[in-house]
Amino acid sequence: MDDSRIIKTEYSEEMQKSFIDYAMSVIIARALPDVRDGLKPVQRRTLYDMHELGIRFDRPYRKCARIVGDTMGKYHPHGDSSIYEALVVMTQDFKKGLPLIDGHGNFGNIEGDGAAAMRYTEARLQRITQEAFLSDLDKDVVDFVPNFDETEKEPSVLPVRIPNFLINGSEGIAVGMTTSTPPHNLGEVIDGVKAYMQNENITTKELMRYVKGPDFPTGGIVINKDELPQIYETGAGKIRLRGKVEFESLKGGKTNVVITEIPYTMAGANISKFLTDVAALSETRKTQDIVDISNQSSKEGIRIVIELKKDADPENFVNLLYKKTRLEDTFGVNMLAISGGRPEIMGLRQIIKAHVDFQFQVATRKYTNLLAHEMEKKEIQEGLIKACNVIDLIIEILRGSRDRAMAKACLTEGKVEGIKFKSRESRLMAEQLSFTEKQAGAILEMRLYKLIGLELEALINEHEETMANIYRYEDILDRRDSMAQVIINELDGYKKAYGRKRRTVIENGREAVYKEKEPQETEVVFVMDRFGYAKTIDMSTYERNRETAESEYKYIVVCRNTGRLCLFTDTGQMHSVKIADLPAGKLRDKGIPIDNVSNYHSETEELVYVASQTELNLCRLIFVTAKAMVKIVGGGEFDVSKRTVAATKLGDGDRVVSIAALHGQKNIILRSEAGYFLRFLISEISEMKKMAVGMRGMNLGEKDSLEAVYYTEDTDVSYIEYKTRSLMLNSIKLARRGGKGVKVKG
């Protein structure tokens, strides 16, 4: 390899430079809209390509695959999916306040269903797009730049007549920055632009008399009206949105809560998530007012119906929806756009100023071009009129000339050499001719029928019309007020043709306050199977099926539905669970994993004891660990509101083997893995604080550990199955705490 071709550079500098180049490319050429036309490059190129293909609003639809392929091949070499996605969004009236493309076929819906493949769908330009976005491109009103391979020319910006950046809004993610501009009402924004043009010192607050706030295509309610002036002054902030809710009274005193408009942020797949969230409120017992949920939305609009119980409070329930679901949501505003070739966060006044400045630039270029065209017409018209007055001389010149060049030289410079004239007077008159080059060319190409009287009269009328146009264009170019009036007249025309009533209500909404209904306190039974699935059942159901329940469930605890359940684990932790968080069901219902409603992790710890908070407050607990440490703790120490607390202190490598409530037991029997049994009086165990390690209960061998714990009364005759024999516990000799115990053979 030729060493002279190897460029040596600092790696960090090269990476920094490359990343900056990449970031700027994404920011300027991909993700952010231009404040002048409110379009990202992919949107601008798609619209321009449709214009070039002649897919107008009054012509047949064309396959989207053709549009996408042509756009990608000529202007946007970044993949067909990005082009088609941009095209789809520009057709969706629930995303855009003013759709720019007329789609034919399945272009998705507000509930999140995607568009059909581009080979199935068709599209054409909307009328307003043709009129307000793409007209006058032939009048040199914007700069054209080479495309990516310099085989085509494309406009650097479209000559958009309306403030599209505000009307349709924009969303995009660049490198290190995002843009998020809400859509606005076309009529209001046009009124704001007119107000600015009439008073360039107008303040943002004064502009908001016209532009009252965002106007989302999905409607809804903006509830922080007082915060909007600050948002529109700085170009950033948060808009709080709510859906529109109505109440329908049914027979029997029931009420339907009907959602007829949703927040803009819920459009798409978030509607199904909203339905799931509402169902979850019932499943998690946050509310018990819901009877049924149904999505009855159609082409006519959104209609989500929630049927409530007879005694439900609809207002309170709606407040719950506002607090716990996306029926109330936040739209983050960050009005970032490309202005003057660089990204800038702009307030309302800055955006309108940029639009107005652009309109004056476009109008200046347009009318300069039109004036030049009319001046050219004027020159030719004057030449033809003058020629008609001396038509006999001109015919004589043409008949007497050898070629076109000789005739043209005579018409422009009065050169008569070589031309045969009928008389000396004609020759002298020809020497006086001084037509311009363009006039001479027009005369030479003039047809004889132009000499008809009516044609000559039409030519004179056309000249008068041309002179009127010249006067008008010069006035527009010379006087800013005249140009401003032309722009205002155009805006009024668009407002009249395409304006619509505001959809989004703007107000200062009250904070949603949900008053949780106090549940009626009843006695229930907590049951949990060996797989960790838990629920509560009615006391009466348990009483009727006691034997079945005791055979199928590992833990059964009688408790209050307003109380808490305490789960003690072998790791020395106590996890607290609200009974209200557990599903209430029938005996055969599956329930939910206890892990879902507590901090208990069945994979890393094992349940040792389960009791209700009420029960704990009335008893004492005896703790026994694998290393034979024992202690008694008052149950009141576990009356805490935290979800997880340490229930005991454990030595290194130790774990809790048994926890039991003391209800008059006299003896405790400890059994080790090596087969040693030690029976002693419970009264020998001291009562300690929960964070004490405890005292030695049994003297274990070096590799021995405690395996099981039993409790008896003095007069009990209790048997256990131990290996191959039946062992009576009270037959074990009563000893002292801390002894080694006796070895029992199986």
pLDDT in tens, 519-570: 678 889 999 998 889 999 989 889 989 888 888 899 999 998 888 999 999 9
Beta strands 505-506 and 221-222: pairing type?
parallel
The strand pairing partners of 101, in sequence order, are 125
Burial code of 6-16, b = ≥16 C-beta within 10 A, e = fewer?
A: eeeeeeeeeee
CA distance 728 to 679: 12
pLDDT of residue 724: 80
pLDDT of residue 17: 67
pLDDT of residue 439: 86
Mean pLDDT of the chain: 89
CA distance 336 to 265: 19
Q: 330 φ, ψ to 5°?
A: -115, 135
Radius of gyration of the CA atoms of the chain, in A: 44
DSSP label of 101: E
- With a cut of 70, say whether residue 450 has pLDDT above it: no
CA distance 712 to 694: 21
Query: Percent of the chain having pLDDT more than 70?
Result: 95
pLDDT of residue 352: 96
pLDDT of residue 175: 62
Q: Are 356 and 196 in contact (CB under 8 A)?
A: yes
Place of tokens 């007209």: 135
Q: How many residues does the chain have?
A: 746
Q: Are 563 and 579 in contact (CB under 8 A)?
A: yes
Q: Are 26 and 145 in contact (CB under 8 A)?
A: no
- With a cut of 80, say whether residue 619 has pLDDT above it: yes
- Apex 569 CA angle, 644 and 645, nearest 5: 20
Burial code of 479-512, b = ≥16 C-beta within 10 A, e = fewer?
A: eeeebbebbbebbeebbeebeeebbbbbeebeeb
CA distance 293 to 305: 6
pLDDT of residue 415: 85
- Mean pLDDT on 348-365: 95
Q: 359 φ, ψ to 5°?
A: -65, -40
- With a cut of 70, say whether residue 30 has pLDDT above it: no
DSSP label of 301: B
- With a cut of 80, say whether residue 14 has pLDDT above it: no
Domains and CATH numbers, the chain: 21-181 (3.90.199.10), 244-326 (3.30.1360.40), 355-498 (1.10.268.10), 523-743 (2.120.10.90)
- Going by C-alpha positions, the residue among 405, 494, 386, 396 that lies closest to residue 443 is 386
Q: Are 57 and 126 in contact (CB under 8 A)?
A: yes
The H or E element spanning position 668 is strand 667-672
Burial code of 49-86, b = ≥16 C-beta within 10 A, e = fewer?
A: bbbbbebbeeeeebbbbbbbebbbebbbeeeeeebbeb
Give catalytic status of residue 471 as yes or no: no
- Going by C-alpha positions, the residue among 271, 158, 277, 168 that lies closest to residue 215 is 168
Place of tokens 């404040």: 35
Tens of pLDDT, residue by residue over 315-345, are 989 999 999 899 999 999 999 998 888 888 9
pLDDT of residue 628: 94
pLDDT of residue 588: 83
Other Cβ atoms within 10 Å of 275 Cβ, number: 17
CA distance 266 to 281: 18
Question: What DSSP line would sit under 603-644, residue for residue?
Answer: TT--EEEEEEHHHHHTSEEEEEETT-EEEEEEGGGG---SSE
Report the range of poorest mean pLDDT among 56-65, 261-270, 382-391, 495-504: 382-391
Tens of pLDDT, residue by residue over 662-707, are 988 899 999 999 999 999 999 999 999 999 999 999 999 888 999 9
- With a cut of 60, say whether residue 29 has pLDDT above it: no
pLDDT of residue 167: 95
List, in order, residues 6 or more apart from 322 with CB less than 8 Å away.
242, 328, 512, 514
- Choosing from 11, 61, 120, 514, which is the catalytic residue? 120
pLDDT of residue 587: 83
CA distance 402 to 673: 131
Which alpha helices (DSSP H) does 479-619 contain, by range? 480-498, 539-544, 546-552, 613-617
- Going by C-alpha positions, the residue among 531, 603, 655, 668 that lies closest to residue 647 is 655
- Going by C-alpha positions, the residue among 356, 360, 336, 332 that lies closest to residue 347 is 336
pLDDT of residue 179: 87
Tokens representing residue 626 in the block: 């694998």
Tens of pLDDT, residue by residue over 364-388, are 999 999 999 999 989 888 888 888 8
CA distance 742 to 23: 79
Burial of 463 (0-12, 13-18, 19+ CB in 10 A): middle
pLDDT band of 417, cuts 50, 70, 90 = confident
- Going by C-alpha positions, the residue among 86, 101, 104, 78 that lies closest to residue 26 is 78
Q: How many CA atoms lie within 13 A of 539 on its CB side?
A: 8
pLDDT of residue 25: 55
Query: Percent of the chain having pLDDT more than 90?
Result: 55
Report the range of poorest mean pLDDT among 11-15, 136-140, 468-472, 554-558: 11-15
Tens of pLDDT, residue by residue over 172-188, are 776 667 889 999 999 99
Torsion, Cα of 351, 354, 357, 359 (10° steps): -70
- With a cut of 80, say whether residue 480 has pLDDT above it: yes
